[in-house]
């Protein structure tokens, strides 16, 4: 229920480490553990990784700077930011897009998060221990996702956990959770990666990941790599903008953003090291696609020594990573409702829960009873996934660099990037970064956006 106008002071992240874990927590998620490894497998291994790394550091990092600059400059939610920085203009529609996109993503993201919850329970009850075959595990996955109640249960639990963390607030919810969970996540993934690379026969998988065959690079590899970089860094919607608005004026946003991109990339590589060597060691197909994590990995777990425990660790890591990302999506909409529509934080969280829960139910059922229900030829789940990743995120990213590069005053952008000129290292690179934001990023994103639309 809307309450009286909210006059509360805005919260900020309390510490530098808090800023980093929140931003890295948003970036590191299902995109790293589930999407990145299967794309690496589908697009030729090391060559894809090579292009991906260039996309992250040359194109996406300046976009990340741009979002955080808009957030911290305005100290407002994703909608309010554009009203504040460009009053009375049509840029408020970019604000509206920045609030709508996360709402769509959080609803299907929590369905996949819910699969993670189910697979965690399966691993805790040692369902993957008895040397099951890959086809048995394939059937297990498809009969689970196409059923009605079990995936809905997972979706509900996952979304509820997200809501509870967000209700606790920026400092005592998001920041606190991230501070405990992110370091744990790194430890977990390192343990799993070490186990995987020491399997007999793992060397072939490592060569696949780190010895690029440059002849494999073509337009589709580039567009998939840039799209993945967008998804993985949580760009093109209000997420990093909203988190940027909770960063205090004394923090170095260029440093926090760079550390976020670096840790996100390291994490994606660690996840691949956890998965690919094992895929090769067991003679499986790296081109398995989106089911890689839920079908291939349980097969590996059920056939390796200590696999039952590695499975528990892995699915725990998956849930934690997905949660720190989904809270960042959720927070965008909650911040908007609290600041623009004067909801209480709790009221806003409940409203978002109801909407995302209902949309998520449609996504979940689209693997079973609603699989024949199509919009533009797509199931609801695929529509949400494609619409956001291939259309709404690149569109939002394109518009935000145009906003920062062409609408905001250059002096304001540089001022925000360098903390009024006091951060000397930032001053030195600011001209180059501004050039990337103004010219290179819009052109490159436009190119990918059009490729995605055409193909």
Segment near ligand PHE (CB under 6 A); pick from 113-121, 138-146, 228-236, 340-348: 228-236
Is 168 exposed, middle or buried, given 0-12, 13-18 or 19+ CB atoms closer than 10 A? middle
Compare residues 26 and 223 and give the one whose CB is closer to ligand PHE. Answer: 26
What DSSP letter does each residue of 319-386 carry, written as one string? HHHHHHHHHHHHHHHHHHHHHHS-B-HHHHHHHHHHHHHHHHHHHHHTTTTTTT--BTTB-HHHHHHH
Are 360 and 16 in contact by the 8 Å Cβ rule? The answer is no
CA–CA distance, 216 with 374 (Å, rounded to integer): 35
CA–CA distance, 253 with 12 (Å, rounded to integer): 14
Q: Is 232 in the site for ligand PHE (CB under 6 A)?
A: yes
Compare residues 27 and 85 and give the one whose CB is closer to ligand PHE. Answer: 27
Compare residues 31 and 227 and give the one whose CB is closer to ligand PHE. Answer: 31
Are 186 and 391 in contact by the 8 Å Cβ rule? The answer is no
Write out the binding residues for ligand PHE, residues 321-360 only, by CB under 6 A.
325, 328-329
Segment near ligand PHE (CB under 6 A); pick from 21-29, 81-89, 247-255, 285-293: 21-29
Write out the binding residues for ligand PHE, residues 104-123 only, by CB under 6 A.
105
Of the residues 18, 25, 29, 227, which one makes contact with ligand PHE according to CB under 6 A: 29
CA–CA distance, 165 with 194 (Å, rounded to integer): 31
Of the residues 26, 74, 110, 242, which one makes contact with ligand PHE according to CB under 6 A: 26
Nearest-approach distance from CB 148 to ligand PHE, in angstroms: 26
CA–CA distance, 296 with 440 (Å, rounded to integer): 39
Of the residues 144, 231, 243, 314, which one makes contact with ligand PHE according to CB under 6 A: 231
Compare residues 56 and 105 and give the one whose CB is closer to ligand PHE. Answer: 105
Compare residues 21 and 202 and give the one whose CB is closer to ligand PHE. Answer: 21
Compare residues 32 and 42 and give the one whose CB is closer to ligand PHE. Answer: 32
Torsion, Cα 218 219 224 228, to 10 degrees, reads 100
Compare residues 234 and 303 and give the one whose CB is closer to ligand PHE. Answer: 234
Segment near ligand PHE (CB under 6 A); pick from 27-35, 53-61, 150-158, 281-289: 27-35
User: How many residues in the shown chain lie near ligand PHE by CB under 6 A?
Assistant: 14
Segment near ligand PHE (CB under 6 A); pick from 23-31, 115-123, 287-295, 402-410: 23-31
Of the residues 24, 27, 284, 312, which one makes contact with ligand PHE according to CB under 6 A: 27
Are 270 and 193 in contact by the 8 Å Cβ rule? The answer is yes
Q: Is 239 in the site for ligand PHE (CB under 6 A)?
A: yes
Of the residues 123, 234, 245, 265, which one makes contact with ligand PHE according to CB under 6 A: 234
For residue 2, give the 3-state DSSP assignment.
strand
Compare residues 117 and 140 and give the one whose CB is closer to ligand PHE. Answer: 117
Q: What is the DSSP letter of 214?
A: G
Segment near ligand PHE (CB under 6 A); pick from 86-94, 231-239, 370-378, 418-426: 231-239
Look at phi and psi of residue 305 and say left if phi exceeds 0, alpha if psi is from -120 to 50, else beta.
beta
Residue whose C-alpha is closest to residue 353's, from 383, 333, 323: 333
Nearest-approach distance from CB 7 to ligand PHE, in angstroms: 29
CA–CA distance, 296 with 263 (Å, rounded to integer): 26
Q: Is 31 in the site for ligand PHE (CB under 6 A)?
A: yes
Nearest-approach distance from CB 332 to ligand PHE, in angstroms: 8
Q: Which ranges of 233-306 would DSSP assign to H, the alpha helix? A: 238-244, 253-281, 297-303
Nearest-approach distance from CB 59 to ligand PHE, in angstroms: 16
What DSSP letter does each residue of 63-130 carry, written as one string? HHHHHHHHHHHHTS-HHHHHHHHSTTSTTHHHHHHHHHHHHHHHHHHHHHHHHHHHHHHHHHTTTT-S
Nearest-approach distance from CB 44 to ligand PHE, in angstroms: 21
Integer CA distances (angstroms), 394 to 94, 275, 362, 373, in order: 12, 28, 25, 27
Compare residues 156 and 232 and give the one whose CB is closer to ligand PHE. Answer: 232
Residue whose C-alpha is closest to residue 186's, from 93, 119, 263: 263
Q: Is 263 in the site for ligand PHE (CB under 6 A)?
A: no
Compare residues 12 and 239 and give the one whose CB is closer to ligand PHE. Answer: 239
Residue nearest to ligand PHE (CB): 31
- Per-residue contact flags (x/-) with ligand PHE for residues 134 to 173, judged by CB under 6 A: ----------------------------------------
Rule CB under 6 A: which residues touch ligand PHE? 26-27, 29-32, 105, 231-232, 234, 239, 325, 328-329
């Amino acid at each position: 229920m809307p309450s009286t106008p909210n006059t509360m002071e805005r919260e900020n992240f309390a510490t530098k480490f808090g800023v980093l874990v929140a931003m890295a927590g948003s970036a590191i998620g299902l995109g790293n553990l589930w999407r990145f490894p299967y794309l690496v497998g589908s697009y030729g291994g090391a060559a894809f990784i090579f292009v991906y790394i260039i996309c992250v550091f040359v194109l996406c990092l300046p976009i990340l700077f741009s979002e955080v600059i808009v957030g911290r400059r305005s100290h407002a939610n994703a909608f309010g930011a554009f009203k504040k920085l460009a009053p009375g203009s049509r840029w408020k529609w970019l604000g509206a897009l920045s609030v709508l996109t996360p709402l769509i993503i959080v609803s299907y993201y929590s369905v996949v998060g819910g699969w993670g919850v189910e697979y965690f329970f399966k691993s805790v009850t040692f369902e993957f221990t008895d040397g099951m075959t890959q086809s048995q595990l394939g059937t297990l996955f498809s009969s689970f996702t196409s059923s009605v109640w079990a995936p809905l249960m997972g979706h509900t639990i996952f979304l509820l956990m997200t809501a509870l963390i967000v209700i606790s607030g920026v400092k005592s919810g998001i920041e606190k959770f991230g501070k405990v969970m992110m370091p744990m996540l790194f430890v977990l993934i390192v343990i799993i990666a070490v186990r995987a690379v020491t399997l007999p026969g793992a060397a072939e998988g490592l060569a696949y990941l780190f010895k690029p065959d440059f002849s494999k690079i073509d337009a589709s590899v580039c567009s998939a790599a840039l799209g993945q970089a967008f998804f993985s860094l949580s760009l093109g919607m209000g997420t990093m903008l909203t988190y940027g608005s909770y960063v205090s004026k004394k923090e170095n946003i260029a440093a926090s953003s760079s550390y976020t991109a670096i840790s996100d990339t390291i994490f994606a590589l660690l996840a691949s090291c956890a998965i690919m060597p094992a895929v090769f060691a067991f003679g499986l197909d790296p081109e398995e696609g989106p089911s890689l994590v839920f079908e291939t990995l349980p097969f590996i777990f059920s056939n390796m020594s200590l696999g039952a425990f590695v499975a528990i660790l892995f699915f725990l890591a998956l849930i934690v990573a997905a949660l720190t990302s989904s809270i960042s999506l959720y927070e965008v909409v909650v911040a908007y409702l609290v600041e623009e529509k004067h909801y209480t934080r709790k009221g806003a969280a409940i409203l978002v829960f109801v909407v995302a829960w209902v949309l998520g139910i449609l996504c979940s059922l689209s693997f079973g009873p609603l699989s024949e229900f199509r919009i533009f030829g797509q199931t609801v789940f695929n529509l949400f996934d494609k619409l956001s990743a291939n259309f709404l995120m690149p569109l939002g990213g394109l518009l935000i660099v145009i906003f920062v590069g062409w609408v905001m005053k250059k002096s304001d952008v540089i001022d925000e990037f360098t903390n009024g000129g006091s951060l000397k290292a930032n001053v030195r690179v600011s001209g180059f970064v501004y050039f990337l934001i103004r010219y290179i990023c819009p052109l490159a994103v436009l190119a990918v956006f059009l490729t995605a639309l055409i193909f």
